[in-house]
Structures are given as C-alpha cells and as structure tokens.
Amino acid sequence: MAKTSNISSVINKDVTCPFCGILCDDLVIQNQGETLKVLENGCPKAVASFESKQTLSSPKINGKDVPLSDAITAMCDILKKSHNPLFSGLGTDVGGMRQVMHLADKTGAIVDHMHGNALIRNSLVLQDLGWITTTMTEIRNRADLIIFAGTDAKNYPRFFERTIWNKKSMFKLKNEQRQIVYIGDKLNSKAGTNPSGKPPTTLNCKTEEIGEVISGLHALVTGATLDVNEIAGIKIKTLHTLAEQMKAAKYGVIVWSPAELDIPHAELTIQNFCEVVKYLTRFTRFAGFSLAGNDGATSANSVCAWQSGYPLRVNFNKGYPEYDAQRYSTHNALKNKEVDSLIWISSFSSDVNSPRASIPTIVLGTPDTKLNFKPDVFIPVSTPGVDDTGQLLRTDSVVSLPLKKVRQSPYESVNTILKQVIERM
Amino acid sequence: MYIKLTNGIVYDPVHGINGEHRDIYINDGYITRKPTSNTKICKTYDMKGKIIMAGAIDIHTHIGGGKINIARMMLPEDHAADLVEKTELTRSGCGYAAPSTLTAGYRYAEMGYTACFEPAMLPSNARQTHMEMADTPMVDKGAYAMLGSDDFFLRMLASKKDQAAISDYVGWTINATQALGIKVVNPGGISAFKFNQRKLELDELNQYYGVSPRDILKSLARAVTELGIPHPLHVHGCNLGVPGNLNTTLETIRAVDGMRMHLTHIQFHSYGTEGDKNFSSGAAEIAEAVNKNPNISIDVGQILFGQTVTASGDSQHQYAGHWHADPKKWVIMDIECDAGCGVVPFKYRDKNFVNALQWAIGLEIFLLVDDPWRVFLTTDHPNGAPFTSYPHLIRLLMDRSFRNDMLSTINKEAAAASTLASIDREYSLYDIAIMTRAAPARSLGLKNRGHLGSGAVADITVYSNHKDKEKMFSKPDYVFKDGELIVRNGKIVKVVNGATHTLRPEYDNGIEKSLKRYFDDFQTVSLGNFKIDDDEIVEHGNGKIIVQPCM
C-alpha cells in the first residue's frame, strides 16, 4: 500500500465525477501529495467534493475509536441478532451495491436508497403505463425543443454545457435552432439562454400545478379546445403556442427531476409528461428524460433490479424478494417498526444524515460524516471514483462509466467491508 | 484428479457418436483420453442407461443489459408468482419471463445449459451488459455487439469510406465492448425511427444518411468475414413481425452474395399475406431458401403460448407493436445515437389466429430445414417464450403425436392453414445434440465446447432417457461445469461463476484517431471510458475472460 510517492504529482485525465447523476467523465485532476486539484472541467460541486481534504477518522463503537476488525465484528454481531435489518442510504457504486444485495439476501433485510422517494416516483410510472425515453447523446445531437418541467437542472451543473449548448452536433443542429422552455416554480432559467443570447421561454406555475399544465398541453396537441382562459395562471394562448411548438418539433424532450417534484403523488405528474410524449410520438419524435441518480441512486436501483428482479424497495425477510414501493421505504419501515437494525451507507456525500432510530445503528460513511447521534458502529469508508476504482450507472440507466482511483485512501470501500461481513456471517 | 463417467450412452455429433456406450474421463476440468491403467480414478459415476451430451449452449437469449432490466423493473406482476427462495447455496430471486440474473443462471444450469449468449449488446450499454452477465452464475456467457444503426458506422457508410476502415471500426468495437460477435438489428431502422421514419424496407434509404439496410448488411457481413470473426453476422432483419416479411427475408438471403449470415428468430420474419386474414405461413419458402444456401444459419425464435415480454433493440418495430401490449404498458428508448430498445409485454394466445399460426410457423421451420447444423433451438428468450420452455419445445420436435395433440388445441383456422399436421419428421436425440450443442459451439467458434472429445472443456449434461422428452430435458440427472458437478437431479449442488467469452480481432488501431475526434465532438462519454478493460470484467465482475481465436 505504501505507494504514496508513486501516485503523487500525477495528473489523471478523463476522470469520471461520481458526485451527481450525469457522471461527467472529462475531468482532469491533479494529485499532489494526496491533495487533489481539479484542473479542468470541474463544476463547483465536483471541485468542492474532489478537493475537500481527507479527514482523519477512525472506526468507532459507541463513539469510541476501535480497530476496523473490531468494528466489523460488532457489525456482524448486530446483524446476527437482527431479524429484519434495513440497509439504507446505499450511497455506493455497483460493486458496493452488489455486496449490499448479497448481505441483504443473507440477513433477510429491507433495501432502500436515500433518494428512494425520487426513485419510486419514476418506478410507479414505468410499472403503470411505461414511457418513451432518451439519453444524453441523443439530446445533445438531436433535440430541437427541450422542456424543463419542474427542474432547472441546477443540481446537475454541467447538464446544459454537456448536452445542450454544443459547438458541434451530429446532424448539424445549431444552438439557435434549439428552443428551451421551463415550466414550474422559481426556476432559474439563466442556463437556458442560448450562447447567442436568445432567452428561453418560461411558464410560471406552482410545482403542484405542472401536471395540470402538461395535461392542458396534451389536450391541445390532440386538437381539443379548452373552455378556459388560463391554466394555473398561464394563458391558454401561451399554451397554444407551446402546443404548436411541440407538434412542430422534430425531436422534443421533456426533462424532469423526480427529486425536485417533491409533491404528493408526483408520479401522476411524471405520468402526464410521459403520456403527452407518447401521444406526440404518434406523428413526430418526442421523448422523456429523467435527471436523477445522485449518490449512486441509478446504480442501486439497477443492481437491485437485476439481482432481485425488482427495483428498489425490496424486503428479503421471507427468504425471497418482496417489492413494495411504499411499505419498504426507510421512513415507513422505521416508523412501523418493521426493522430491528439500521445500516446506513453513504460513501459520496457527507451531508446526508442517517436517520436517527432507536434500534442498533451502523453507519458506513465518508470519514467527515457529521452525525447528530452516536451510532452503535461507525466505519469510515472510501469514496468510489476518488479513493477506489469502480463503476456507476448514469441517470439514463443506459450508460455506465468506470471510476478511477485518483488518490490513496487509508479507508476501505463499502465493497470490501461488506465482503468481509458476508464472509463472517 | 480423474473422474470417470461409465456405462452412459453418448451423443456427440462432432465425433459422429450417435448413442454409443462410451466411458468419459475428466481431468482438471477437461475431457481426456482414457488414462493409463495405473492412473488413479478418484470418482466414478455409473451412468447406466443414461444419456450423455455436452452441456447445452443457447446462442440467442436476452439475459443481460438494459432492456431486460427495464422489463424486470416494469413487470412486478411477472415475478409475483415466480418467487425463488434462497437456499444454503443459492441466492433468492424471482421472475418468469424476465427473471433476475442469479435466478436465470441457476435455471439454465438446472436445465443442463452451460453457456448462454446475449445477442444484443448495445456498445453504449456494454458495460452494464457485462455487469449483468457477471451476476448470472453457473454458465459461461458472451455477447454480440449491436451495430448498424450507430451514427459512426452510418456516417462512414454514407461517406463511402472504404471497407477496410469499416472493418477496422467493427474490430475496434468488438475489442472495446468485449464482444464475441456482431449483430445487426433492423439495419439502419433504429436510426431511421429517430428521424421519424416508421418503416425501412431492405432497399429503402435512411433519410438522413442515404444508405439502405442492404448496404448495411453487406458492409457488416464483409467486415465480419474480413476480421475472421467465427460467428457469422447475426441478423435481425427488416420488417420484424410484418405480414409479408417473408419476401424481405428471402431478399436478405440473396443480398449477402453467399457470405455467411445467421438469421435470428426467423419465425418472426417468415410471414406471408395469403388467406382471409392476410397472414400466412412462409415457412416452406424460408426453409427451402435455407436448405439451398449453405452460407445461411438460423435460429427459430419459437413462440409458445402464455404471458411473456418482448425486449428488442428494434425500437422501430417495437413501437409499431406497442398497440398489442398486454398488460398495457411499454417502453421505447432512443440510445446515444448508437441504438435503441423497446420493451413490450405480450401474451401469446393459442385461440388467437395470428398467435396460433406463429406457433405453427416456428415448428414448420424447425421441421422443414433439413440440416440441424444450421438451425438452433431458441425462443428468442423472452420474446417468443421464456427459456424455461425449451424442454417443452424439444418434445414438440421429437414427438409427433404430442405435437399433433397440441395442434388440435390451437385456433382451428390457424391449424387448418398450417402444413404442420402433414409433417412426419421427428427430431432424434442426435439432432437435438447437434442443434443445442455441437452446432452453436461451431457457429460461435468455441472449439473446445459443444462436444465430448479429448481436450474439450468438461461441460457435460447427463439425462435419464424418459419417453416424455419434456420431462427428460427439464431435469438432468447430472450437470458438470469445467469438470465439477454443479447440478444433481435438476438441483444445484455447487455454485460456480462461468467465464466470459470474447474475441480480439486484429484491426488497424489508426481508426482510434477519428474515433477520438468523433467522441470529443459529439458524444457524452470519452473514448477512453467507453472501452471496457479486462479488469472491469475480471476484478469487478466475478469472472474470467476466455479469448477465443479468430479464424
């Protein structure tokens, strides 16, 4: 392991950033004496995350520093006594998630992700009527009308740079030909101004009203007349104009971010997006695109689906997987006392706190994790894509990227720690 | 450490062994010649009266990659009745038409299969395909990279780049995606759909690139030949599922000018337009063409009645088929200016004229193609039916009276429109050994698989010779993988991982210069990250890589 001198002052190119769901993979990162500097293509989020100093931390049992092997033993003890553990957070890469699934199966656990609420909003739509979707390279080269519904993509800082405003596109689509529309509440439309200065169109409404606005547009594109003057404060004339734009688009895209549609039954709003897309596809091309997948959420959902058969919120307690998007949420499982131990995993971000529960709690977190309680066991873990190689799936659930190791870490990965736990269970 | 299988009845078509008593010796995972008399045999299995074949090989089964994972996520109702409990040895899982990866691997092994090949790996989704295959235990696996609607290739073809450059790109793709072959799906049609073209005939031009499916097929078939890729170009043709596509298929066979070509799930491409319902069997013409053209191999993509889900790269025809979705939900995706996919659940009904005739057409093709070396047993899992229906399909092929009994239960008009009742042929065990072992191994270039000769990998399946062939093939007595006993009486006794088979065709790496520029200009991943390192499969994928030689 004493390779520090070899790896220092190294410049890594084509580094994948694991800190949001669009996985930009063009970062240039310098490692000088284990201090990282993002030399190129870092958004503020990437810079803050890669350049944050490695915190000194230690595995802990009830707040007291212990060797890692003791912490793993304590974790095994808790899991052995537990009848229905809850593995949540799940901020890890494909390798880590594979071990989570193995261990959950072995211990009869529930699995849910910290962004589970966002994930299931999409899952419910997929399972009800399905959808037509697209991916980033298609948008980048093809999309001439992009409607941001309830999101301005600011949580995905380079989305516009990497997929919309391009120097070149495969089919000679020019930036001036791209129309950007925002529908929603207090959206920052600055990024939607095209490089030659043409501003986007913004339709303001409350998040709860977006579904209604889209339904109105759906009615209009079918040729129906609506006997109202406005919907959610937006004039019908404005909606007519947009409906005509949608019909005239060669390749239109509706972008949503399930996390930002934080309203009851957001799945119905998302379904409205998907159904108007389907209708438009009868005569032109249209597609949906979901911006999500932070903290390895897309990877967790996909690995869960291929290993168990179901997307997230699965319970292995009966010895086989059971799926229930509501009942097996972290919130409900804890509230309804369905679980008797909690294993919280967060290896990308330190600012998502583990829920505080009155059951034995194990936290596998970044070394700088700040908790407002003392878990029974705390194990600092390395971050995939910074401290370890690995793989992550991008928000579109199609593209996955390799993660590089750009610095030495004294901490082990979720993957290797859980492997040891599985071996000892 | 020698193992001996004694007293068994061996079917090994590669060596012309047709039901002969032979002893088989295994050492270090391989089949060997009879050792000298002073060699210690550690374990002897008495296989008296049992049938011994090489492990079965599925040349076309959608077991991994994005579209199957979409099917899993979309269809919890598919899984609810098919829950698989964990055991001391095996992990839990579920699913009927779209099973979890682990469950799929276990089920294949328990049916006597030791290798499975994913036919539609989109280069942009290749990493995930390998992840899912790595999590499919028990069997060896591999995948064919899908080309033909990808912008880079179409661009080269449109600008009349010379064939050598196109072959370099194809070779690069095989290497970059760790593939074992090349598949083309609805050549150019997936791309055309993104430009809002709703169909693409063999000689119709993609409106943007100005190239036709015929141009694409010829170019890719030539590339596969020039690169020495053992498996011929794997072709899912134009007009899938469209009545009258029989003529497209016949024309497709003529289009490749005698170059080797594998036409996959040909049942879906063998439809005429005769009769009151403008839907008829083209099996006789298709079989005749296959019989006459030794450069052509096929797999059938048999449909069997019941609920399933269709998952295909052919977004254009899956979109057209979405009106028939059952249950009424479906997914279409455009993917990375590279490919696409469509996932549409479907229920084949025996009393429905079209479905019943599809069933008969598949069987007619099986029975009218003379050479079992050129027709492989598939249901295009899960598109025609889940792979777990193979034993039933084998019985349909081997047992004429059973077949006719089934025929008498389907839609009467369809039964009357089919020639199936007049076909007497019954497949023999030797034929089955060819079409499920020897032939797929030969077609894929797996020299030491699919047979039981000295030097072969000891992937071996042992059956009881039941009269009911469905029963026989459902539950082998023994399955050996790399010489280890992994299944006994149809149940897993040892979990293994299986390897990933790939190729490393030689090509001029100068192509990377233009690819680098192309990725920088247009793509949303970098060229370097697009490529899949061995480590990602070996270290991150619980597997090993076997590089098969090119021709």
Read off the tokens for A210: 């977006």
Classified as helix, coil or strand, B221 is helix
Partners of A253 in the beta sheet? A146, A287
Among the partner-chain residues A130, A303, A398, the one whose CB lies closest to the CB of B125 is A398
Kindly tell me if the per-residue pLDDT of A4 is higher than 80.
Answer: no
* Interchain CB distance below 8 Å, B336 and A132: no
- B57-445 folds as TIM Barrel (3.20.20)
CB pairs under 8 A between A and B: 204
Helix (H, G, I), strand (E, B) or coil at A334: helix
Per the CB < 8 A criterion, the answer to whether B228 and B505 are in contact is yes
pLDDT above 70: residue A241: yes
Long-range contacts formed by B534-541: CB under 8 A, 24+ apart: B534/B178, B535/A389, B536/A391, B536/A402, B536/B127, B536/B130, B537/B130, B537/B134, B537/B178, B537/B500, B539/A389, B540/A94, B540/A95, B540/A389, B540/A390, B540/A391, B540/B131, B540/B134, B541/B130, B541/B131, B541/B133, B541/B134, B541/B500
User: B310 contacts in A (CB within 8 Å)?
Assistant: none
Angle at A127 between CA A122 and CA A132, to 5 degrees: 65
CB-count exposure of residue B518 (10 Å: 0-12, 13-18, 19+): middle
Q: What is the DSSP string of B152-201?
A: HHHHHHHTT--HHHHHHHHHHHHHHHT-SEEEEESTTHHHHHHTT-----
Reported as a single tens digit per residue, the pLDDT across B135-163 is: 999 999 999 999 999 999 999 999 999 99
Per DSSP, the three-state class of A287 is strand
| Crossing angle between the packed helical segments A297-308 and A116-128, to the nearest 10 degrees | 50
Per DSSP bridges, beta strands B296-299 and B306-312 are unpaired
**Tens digit of pLDDT for each residue in B450-487?**
999 999 999 999 999 999 999 999 999 999 999 999 99
**pLDDT attached to residue A2:** 42
Q: Residue A352 — pLDDT band, cuts 50, 70, 90?
A: confident
Residues 6+ apart with CB under 8 A from B15: B451, B452, B453
Q: Which of A51-55, A120-124, B403-407, B520-524 has the lowest mean pLDDT?
A: A51-55
Find the CB nearest A94 among B68, B131, B529.
Answer: B131
Minimal CA separation from B127 to chain A, in Å: 6
How far A169 CA lies from chain B's nearest CA (Å)? 6
Contact B337 A137 (CB under 8 A): yes
Supply the pLDDT for residue B134: 95
Statement: residue A359 has pLDDT above 60: yes
pLDDT averaged over chain A? 96
With a CB cutoff of 8 Å and minimum separation 6, the contacts of A338 are: A84, A86, A110, A315, A327, A328, A332
Cross-strand partners of B30: B27, B457
- Which of A121, A169, A280, A398 to substitute to test the interface with B, most B CBs within 10 Å? A398
Contact B72 A131 (CB under 8 A): no
pLDDT of residue A397: 95
* All structural domains of chain A: 4-48 (no CATH), 55-115+295-424 (3.40.50.740), 131-292 (3.40.228.10)
User: How large is the C-alpha radius of gyration of chain A?
Assistant: 23
d(CA B155, CA B157): 5
CB pair distance less than 8 Å for B135 and A306: yes
Return the pLDDT at B542: 73
| Candidates B315, B316, B524, partner chain A, best to mutate (most A CBs within 10 A) | B524
**Cβ-defined contact of A319 to B127 (cutoff 8 Å):** no
pLDDT for res A8: 52
Q: Which residues contact B323 (CB under 8 A, 6 or more apart)?
A: none
Distance of CA B457 to the CA centre of its chain: 21
- Counting every residue, how long is chain B? 551
Q: Is 50 exceeded by the pLDDT of residue A207?
A: yes
For B67-97, the pLDDT digits (tens) are 999 999 999 999 989 999 999 999 999 999 9
Q: Which of B 502-521 lie inside 8 A of A, CB atoms?
A: 521
Chain Cα centroid distance, residue B67:
15
CB A317 within 8 A of CB A109: yes
Reported as a single tens digit per residue, the pLDDT across B266-297 is: 999 999 999 999 999 999 999 999 999 999 99
- Residues in B 335-354 with any Cβ partner in A closer than 8 A: 335-338, 343
pLDDT at residue number A353 = 84
- Which residue in B has a C-alpha nearest to residue A171's C-alpha? B208
Identify the pLDDT of residue B539.
79
**Which of A123, A141, A284 lies at the smallest CB-CB distance from B337?**
A141
Q: Does A287 sit within 8 Å of B329, measured CB to CB?
A: no
Give A383-424 pLDDT, tens digit per residue.
Answer: 999 999 999 999 999 999 999 999 999 999 999 999 999 999
**What are A249-290's pLDDT values in tens digits?**
999 999 999 999 999 999 999 999 999 999 999 999 999 999
- Nearest-angstrom CA–CA distance, A246 and A240: 10
Residue B299 in contact with residue B335, Cβ under 8 Å?
no
Would you mind telling me the total number of residues written for chain A in this entry?
425
Give the mean pLDDT of B316-339.
98
User: What ipTM was estimated for this complex?
Assistant: 0.97
Beta-strand relationship, A179-184 and A322-323: unpaired
Q: How far apart are CA B11 and CA B222, in angstroms?
A: 35
Eight-class DSSP state of A290:
E
Is the confidence at residue B17, as pLDDT, over 50?
Answer: yes
Cα–Cα dist B259/B232, whole Å: 9
Give the bridge partners for B267, in sequence order: none
Give CA–CA dist B265/B321, Å, rounded.
Answer: 16
Which amino acid makes up residue B394?
Answer: I
Question: Which of A306, A310, A318, A403 has the most B C-beta neighbours within 10 Å, making it the best mutation to test the interface with B?
Answer: A306
Peptide bond into A321 cis (omega under 30): no
Q: Which of A45, A100, A135, A154 is nearest to A394 (CA)?
A: A135
Segment among B8-22, B205-219, B536-550 with least mean pLDDT: B536-550
* Of A127, A132, A284, Cβ closest to residue B196: A284
Query: Encoding tokens for residue A201?
Result: 């169109």
Name B50's bridge partners: B464
Domain residue spans of chain B: 57-445
Question: Among residues of chain B, what percentage have pLDDT more than 90?
Answer: 98
B361-365: average pLDDT:
98
Mean pLDDT of B356-384: 98
Distance from CA of B201 to the nearest CA of A (A): 20
**B150 and chain A in contact, CB less than 8 A:** no
